[in-house]
A = this chain, B = another copy of it.
Amino acid sequence: MTQPAYSRLPRERRVADIMAAARAVFDEKGYAAASVAEIAERAGVVEGSVYRYFEHKRALLIAVVERWYAELLSDFDEHLGVITGTWNRLRYLVWKHLSTIEKQPMLVRLVFEELRSGPDYRTTAVFQVNRRYTRRTIDILKDGIARGEIRRGIPLRIARDMIFGGVEHHTWAFVRGEGAFSPVAAADAIVDILRRGIAADTTLPEVRHVPKGPRRKPR
């Protein structure tokens, strides 16, 4: 019975415990319905302790999502670097995005509905990572123009918005647990419409050199 009323752990460990608990509770209940009290309980600390390591509840959300993003994108550039061809690269990018949504709908929902709305979003590392993402997209498109595969004068940001906006709307029901979608099929369909929409006229109908049939299913 002489067990200590509490234990002192190294900062790292405590932070990790709290973040793990937070991720679990957010994942189960969403941000608004998750209470700091419950997160604290699962992490084995008292509520006040959470606030020693995280300024707000929102800081917890940001930390959780940032860590997830870091895991997620660690191999992205590496893979993208190997894939050649404008349309193949775009297809990989779109598929990767869709696939992520399929695997972690709740975390994606946290980003879409909670994190991205806040006034502090632009100060977030998640924002930076998203910028890098969309930057890649623009780069691929610019490269396509340089190769003569994409028409000059295409408004690149509009094209990018149609990609990511299209993905988001398409997965909308699924993210809310009310539907399903196929990452591969959706990626094909989106890139196909986009390809016809922005391809240089000469490359449009037949695409004969090198990759005869369009590559499908990267990765």
Contact = CB atoms under 8 A, between A and B. Distances in A.
A133 to B, nearest CB: 13
Given A165-B162, A169-B161, A198 B205 contact: no
A113 interface: yes
Contacts of A154: 193
A206 B196 contact: no
A216 B197 CA distance: 15
Contacts of A1: none
A85 interface: no
A158 B216 contact: no
B198 A193 contact: yes
Interface stretch (A15-23, A70-78, A184-192): A184-192
B117 A193 contact: no
Nearest to A192: B216
B207 A190 contact: no
Overall SS of chain A's interface: helix
Contacts of A185: 217
Contact of A214 (B163, B186, B216): B216
Contacts of A217: 185, 188-189, 192
Contacts of A162: 162-163, 165-166, 169, 190, 193-194
29 contacts: A122-B178, A154-B193, A157-B170, A158-B186, A158-B193, A161-B166, A162-B163, A162-B165, A162-B194, A164-B165, A165-B166, A165-B170, A168-B168, A185-B217, A188-B217, A192-B217, A193-B197, A193-B198, A195-B197, A196-B197, A201-B205, A201-B206, A201-B207, A204-B206, A204-B207, A204-B213, A205-B207, A205-B213, A214-B214
